A and B are shown apart, each in its own frame.
Chain A
Amino acid sequence: DARVTQTPRHKVTEMGQEVTMRCQPILGHNTVFWYRQTMMQGLELLAYFRNRAPLDDSGMPKDRFSAEMPDATLATLKIQPSEPRDSAVYFCASGFDAFRGQGHITNYGYTFGSGTRLTVV
């Protein structure tokens, strides 16, 4: 089965350090999403890319977070500097946006990776 691969699975780092999380989307998917999950907030959208271009990153703290897609096989989420409140599980998901005219979009797929559990101490 095709799957979304995230690395690392776990990361423990000290406050102030840079953290980089990586995601390999499913081949052929044109959309990539980054989500953060905490017990209190559930799943929150951080960034949304289509064809490697950012469409929505309004959920991401811009002063410390950045998301990029250097190529179609790699998406990265970087936190610099990290803070204890960033501790969460970060999920990447990929899917396929199909355009159906008049601006209507249907998304297929939405396969999630296994996540990166980040702990900032």
Chain B
Amino acid sequence: KNQVEQSPQSLIILEGKNCTLQCNYTVSPFSNLRWYKQDTGRGPVSLTIMTFSENTKSNGRYTATLDADTKQSSLHITASQLSDSASYICVVGVNSGAGSYQLTFGKGTKLSVIP
């Protein structure tokens, strides 16, 4: 069964500190992996997308890594800001080969950045 597990479930850090969120997946056949940021009361917004041939991608202070061999990804946030407080969702895309494309969502990590 395709699954995406994220850790930790929640995290509190001080403003200005760095943090790393983890994502492990058992999805096959892998197509791509995305990280989304979801602010409270809003829809998820894409941060990064990586295919199996990419092992790192950055978007400002966000850097995602991917190890397709161990099926792990991480999202590193540098110099956190109060506006980084949100849920971060790891999503793995599967090409079903039957003409459809599926996304498997993790349950997210809720990050709180405090002054």
Contacts and interface: CB of A to CB of B under 8 A. Distances in A.
Contacts of A50: 100
Interface centre among A104, A107, A114 (most CB of B within 10 A): A107
A56 B108 contact: no
Contacts of A44: 105
A45 B96 CA distance: 15
Contacts of B41: 114-115, 117
B95 A104 contact: yes
Interface residues of B, number: 24
Nearest to A4: B43
B102 A45 contact: yes
A45 B103 contact: yes
Given A103-B97, A110-B34, A91 B43 contact: yes
A42 B44 contact: no
Contacts of A111: 46
A43 B93 contact: no
Contacts, number: 59
Given A110-B46, A112-B43, A105 B34 contact: no
Interface string B36-73: 10000111111000000000000000000000000000
B99 interface: yes
A113 interface: yes
A83 interface: no
B31 interface: yes
Interface of B: 31-32, 34, 36, 41-46, 89, 93, 95, 97-103, 105-108
8 closest Cβ pairs, A-B complex:
A112-B43, A42-B107, A43-B105, A105-B101, A55-B100, A112-B44, A107-B101, A103-B97
Interface of A: 4, 31, 42-45, 48, 50, 55-56, 91, 93, 97, 103-107, 110-115, 117
26 contacts: A31-B101, A42-B89, A42-B105, A42-B107, A43-B89, A43-B105, A45-B102, A55-B99, A56-B100, A91-B44, A93-B43, A103-B98, A105-B31, A105-B95, A105-B99, A105-B101, A106-B95, A106-B101, A110-B103, A112-B36, A112-B43, A112-B45, A114-B41, A114-B42, A114-B43, A115-B42
